[in-house]
Amino acid sequence: MPLQHRTAARAFIQADERILTVRYRDAKGDWFVLPGGGQQPGEDLHATLRRECREELGISIRVGPLRWVREFITTHHPGHDLPCEFH
């Protein structure tokens, strides 16, 4: 099976000493992520981030410069429900 790639963009939104996160809860407990999500075909990352913040938070944002890149390969992080070929 071919490797499955998924590109996503996340927003680092800071106010004073606080950072905005999205809280999820599942059978394993609570976990937090920065707002954002998956890129759609033909969509640049800035457009992805603006769309996701509108959908998740109901806000319009100004996108600044790229701060970091995170690579996630499922085989390096056991215990996830993602396919073993996910990258």
Strand spans (E) along the chain:
8-10, 14-15, 18-19, 22-26, 29-33, 36-38
What's the pLDDT at 74?
74
Of residues 34 and 69, the one with the higher pLDDT is 34
How much is the average pLDDT of 33-44?
A: 93
Beta carbons of 34 and 21 less than 8 angstroms apart = yes
Q: Per-residue pLDDT for 23 more than 60?
A: yes
Q: Which two tokens stand for residue 8?
A: 């996503």
Tell me the whole-structure pTM to 2 decimals: 0.73
Domain residue extents for the chain: 8-63
Beta carbons of 66 and 46 less than 8 angstroms apart = no
Q: Per-residue pLDDT for 82 more than 60?
A: yes
